[in-house]
Structure 1
Amino acid sequence: MNALPLINGQQHSWSSIEVRMLDNIVTGITSVNYDDSVMKENHYGAGDLPVHRGRGKYEAKASITLYNYEVEAILAALPRGKRLQDVPAFDVVVSYLDDTNDIITHVVRNCEFNTNSRGISQGDTKIEVSFDLICSHIEWN
């Protein structure tokens, strides 16, 4: 961890992120979120303090928000009659470039779309579509 203050520079920001999906850089993306967790639980025996800790399943979650034209381009690339939920598993690669040109890359593995829906309201100047993705795991750098 860098203990020095950042002077006249910047750290990671949205403008430094590059997201790749289905072997293409996605430009019509407004949000990407991902996290993972491991279930942990204290186990008790004699006394009131835990005597050991158990670990359970690992779970990764991801979501993205795309402009509608990106979603329509994905749909247009599919064979006739296929749905967004039929897109084969893909990785979402998120790379950050910092001010020293170090690249930090996170890979959300084996993503698939669960749903396909739209919500458009009067006065909207753009159509954004949010998706919760099912994924297997995340590689953090």
Structure 2
Amino acid sequence: MPHLPLVNGHRHGWSSVEVNILDRIVTGITAISYDDAQVKENHYGAGDMPVFRGRGKYEAKASITLYAFEVESIQQALPKGKRLQDVPLFDIKVSFLDNSSNVITHVIRNCEFKTNKRDMKQGDSKVEVQLDLIVSHIEWN
């Protein structure tokens, strides 16, 4: 089996993250965070041990951090009077190589911006904007 090259010398490389918003690749992304969870509870009957386990709702969460110039570019691409929170649904793909040199891709589905906030302080040499997202689900490969 041929060995695939490492991405930037590392198997799990930041260089493989790709975000497309409003039909353009966003290059000024500096961080991404995503997770999902499902409510699971033990249910009791006779005795002191659970007799079955119930499952509740599924919830996925995500956020991205972009340089301010990227956020401004996205906002300028919107029709006049629209906000960042009005950007249509978009997906985020995160790809990397696993230990067997297989490409793994996670897809964060149906993202929308929930927030639009700036946080700057004296001495900053760059302005980053953390944006919370609402997402429908995450496809873990």
Q: TM-score range by the shorter chain?
A: 0.7 to 0.9
TM-score, structure 2 normalization: 0.86
1:1-141 map, 5 Å: 10-15=10-15, 17-22=16-21, 23-97=23-97, 102-141=102-141
Aligned 8 A contact 1:10 1:99 in 2:
no
Q: How many aligned positions are there?
A: 132
> 1:15-55 deviations in whole A, cap 9, x for unaligned?
3x222222433221110011011100000000000000000
How far, CA to CA, are the matches of 2:77 and 2:26 in structure 1?
A: 15
CA RMSD of aligned residues (A): 1.7
How far, CA to CA, are the matches of 2:39 and 2:98 in structure 1?
A: 32
> 1:3-25 deviations in whole A, cap 9, x for unaligned?
xxxxxx6321323x222222433
How far, CA to CA, are the matches of 2:31 and 2:10 in structure 1?
A: 20
How far, CA to CA, are the matches of 1:102 and 1:25 in structure 2?
A: 24
TM-score, structure 1 normalization: 0.86
Aligned 8 A contact 1:18 1:25 in 2:
no
Kindly provide the amino acid, as one letter, of the partner of residue 122 in structure 1. Answer: Q
Identity %: 67
